[in-house]
Every structure is written in structure tokens, then in C-alpha cells.
Chain A
């Protein structure tokens, strides 16, 4: 079956612009996670969804970051007024549900802010 997909695979944007990153989880997976992989910070957790609910947003780096999930499926991570330090690979993962279930990762979106 299809794995986790993310789009776009690459995004170059100018500082100050808004960007939207999309994640399509594996069908039937109710839990969805966003992570960021950057040179300075390594792999860091951003936010998770159980269904459409995001109970804890404290991992988001600033209030310019937001995420939503509709229909218990697709999720969008939005970064407003992008800054150069937002440049990173944004990874999405899904699992059957939160708990002791394997997380399956997508290929990531490489974001470059110029």
C-alpha cells in the first residue's frame, strides 16, 4: 500500500512569505506527527495529532507555526512570515494510533528560505 506522502518535496521561498506543507498519512492511521530536521537542531518533534485534535502545541518553535488536520487524514503545517532559520527538512510520520505503534515517515519537504 501507499506510504506517507508529503508535498512539495522541495520549496524555496523568500523571507517573509508564508508557506504550507502537506502530509498525507497512511490510510487508517489516526496518529500523525510533524518533525523538523535541521543542521543546527538535529531531528526535533513539532506537534502531533490524534484524529483531528492536537492536544499539545508546545513543540512548535514560534507562533508563526501552526498545523491543522481535517477529516482525520491530511495535515497541513503552515509557517507564516518565514525566516532563514526556518530552513530545514520537515518530516511527517503516521502511526496506527498514539501509543506503542511504529511511526512511518514520509520523504520530507526540504524548505529553503532565501
Chain B
């Protein structure tokens, strides 16, 4: 079956630090990959996505590259802000024809950015 493994948290960084949150996956086919973010008191929001190998998803200064050879989709940001404090979830959806494309999530990584 499909699974997602992401870096254990919590992660605490100072403002303007470099962020990496590791994510690796196991899938039977060629899934689409996602990063979702959950800000305090809010619902899950899509941050970025990539649908095929070597695609790079980017949004709000965050980037992640779909690496088929290492089955990874690590999230990076060059300079974090206090407003980036949130829980980040890596996820995949099946590409099989007829699939419901439900999301399989990692366990989430709590990020706290200090001023």
C-alpha cells in the first residue's frame, strides 16, 4: 500500500533561517505529491504540489522537488518568517485509473519560528 514518512517534529527555528522538512514515500505507481499546511486554528490548506517526476512545486517561498529515484519530496524555504509557524503535512494521491485519489498523509511536522 501507499505510505508517507516525514521528519519528526517539533522543529524550532529563528526567523530568516533555512528550513528543510524531509518527506519520503512508498507507492505502487506514480503518485501526485503534496504539501499541506495547517495554521493555528485553521483548516488544512494546499501549499504546493507536483504531479510527475522532476516537477518542482513552489508557493510562498516554499519549494519541493519530486524525486522518483529517492522517492522523496522534501520541503524547503530559504528564509522562514514567524508567520510560517504551522503544522506541515506531506501527502500523496494515487494515480491509478479509476482511483478515488484520496490522500495518504504523513504524520505532520510542527514548525515554530521565533523572532
Contact = CB atoms under 8 A, between A and B. Distances in A.
Interface of A: 4, 31, 33, 35, 42-45, 48, 50, 55-56, 59, 91, 93, 95, 98-108
The 8 A-B residue pairs whose C-beta atoms are closest, nearest first, are A43-B105, A105-B44, A45-B102, A107-B43, A48-B100, A105-B43, A42-B107, A98-B100
Contact of B102 (A33, A104, A105): A33
Interface of B: 32, 36, 42-46, 49, 51, 89, 91, 93, 95, 99-108
A102 B46 contact: yes
A100 B102 contact: no
Contact of A100 (B46, B101, B108): B101
A105 B100 contact: no
A49 to B, nearest CB: 9
Nearest to A46: B102
